[in-house]
Amino acid sequence: MRDSDEFLMPEGAEVVGRQDDVFEMRIAIPSDEHGFLGRQCPSCAQMFRVGSDDYEALPGDLELWCVYCGHHAEHSEFVTQQQLDRAMRAAGDLGTQLVQEVINDAFRGISTYRSGSRSSGFGIEISYRTEPFYPQPLPGIDEEQLIRVRTCASCTLRYAVFGEHRFCPVCGLLPADVVALDAIAAETARLDGLVQLPAEVAATLREQGVFTRIWVDTLENLVGVVETMASRVFHAAVAEAATLVKGKGNIFQRLDDTADLFAASGHSDVRTVIDAPTWQRLQEAWAARHLFTHNDGLIDAKYLAKVSSGTARPGQRLTITEAMCRQAITDTEALCRAIAALTRP
């Protein structure tokens, strides 16, 4: 029986221990050129990456979180398919040598065996010769590369994602303001993408109303971002939050009601934190979103009560522009930062 260090393994793989038929192997998983290691969620199968140095410093019994779906499990379960293929190649090389070892033991001392006689026309001849084993190089890792590096404000882990995410790989659910600001940045990126379309494509989409639909969706998404963030912040800061919001419907969709709720709970009035022009523009953006969500954009008296000026009349359809959306994004970011600051010491 060979010792563990007598097996021929490719570079990057090593048999480090053997106890009877149980083997312990170490397979190196190379990081990318930026020093990041791929991880793949065993639940949703999506990829993310973590800084190798940061990852190595984590406790061995750590439970890792999927940045996308929030599944959390022992960190070794987050192996990627390419990493698994690399490990299986190494295991296959070891298995080949183990089979060879068994055969060698079975035929040790036997070179040729004959049964029967040539004259009878019946006979068995067995011969065996060992062949040298040469391991093949392990397959490399060529996974999706990171675009930008994120650093968790709580644990300082560096990681990279490839889509909308809500969790830190170590800490779990991200703070409400981090999620909100990421979502707002995505809205800016979407508008920037429209600007980069070829002129012919842009003209076709504009004629079909796609641009207008995207601008309306931007306002809808901004209201949703604030609603989700304000709710999380309020419930985390106010012990009796569930009682205070009970029966008040979608209170965090309504700017003044949200401001009143925080103020009544002992926090600053966000309307005094944000300058008056910004608050007025937010009111108008929220009113425009409500108009398109509930009245197909047709102007009514409720909308006119919210806007500060303009030539719009009841029955007309409100016009949404890219400039309006970009201003709403800037104002919403200021609002989210103000709400996050309300409950900080």
> What DSSP letter does each residue of 84-133 carry, written as one string?
HHHHHHHHHHHHHHHHHHHHHHHHTT-SEEEEEETTTTEEEEEE------
Between 312 and 324, the higher pLDDT residue: 324
Q: Are 303 and 290 in contact (CB under 8 A)?
A: yes
Tell me which residue of 223, 176, 217 sits closest to 332, measured CA to CA.
223
Tokens encoding 253: 């969709």
Q: Which of the four pLDDT bands, split at 50, 70 and 90, describes residue 311?
A: confident
Q: How large is the average pLDDT for residues 155-170? A: 94
Q: Are 50 and 64 in contact (CB under 8 A)?
A: no
Q: How large is the average pLDDT for residues 46-73? A: 92
Between 135 and 331, the higher pLDDT residue: 331
CA 55 – CA 50 distance, rounded (Å): 7
Q: What type of residue is 327? A: Q
Between 136 and 207, the higher pLDDT residue: 207
CA 43 – CA 71 distance, rounded (Å): 7
- Specify the length of the chain in residues: 345
**pLDDT above 80 (res 236):** yes
Hey, is 55 helix, strand or coil?
A: helix
Signed CA dihedral, 277, 283, 286, 287: sign only: negative
Hey, is 314 helix, strand or coil?
A: coil
Give percent of the chain with pLDDT exceeding 90: 61
Give residue 248's pLDDT: 94
Q: How large is the average pLDDT for residues 184-201? A: 95
Give residue 93's pLDDT: 73
CA 138 – CA 130 distance, rounded (Å): 24
Q: How large is the average pLDDT for residues 280-286? A: 95
Q: What type of residue is 80? A: T
What is the Rg, in whole angstroms, of the alpha carbon atoms belonging to the chain? 32
Between 130 and 207, the higher pLDDT residue: 207
CB atoms near residue 288 (< 10 Å): 26
Q: Which of the four pLDDT bands, split at 50, 70 and 90, describes residue 148?
A: confident
Signed CA dihedral, 165, 76, 52, 142: sign only: negative
Q: Are 298 and 316 in contact (CB under 8 A)?
A: yes
Give residue 2's pLDDT: 55
Domain boundaries, the chain: 4-127, 175-342
Q: Exposed, middle or buried, 165 (CB in 10 Å: 0-12/13-18/19+)?
A: buried
CA 212 – CA 203 distance, rounded (Å): 12
Supply the mean pLDDT for the chain: 87
| pTM given for the model | 0.79
Q: What is the pLDDT of residues 81-132, one digit of tens each?
A: 888 888 877 777 777 767 776 676 666 655 554 444 444 455 566 666 666 7
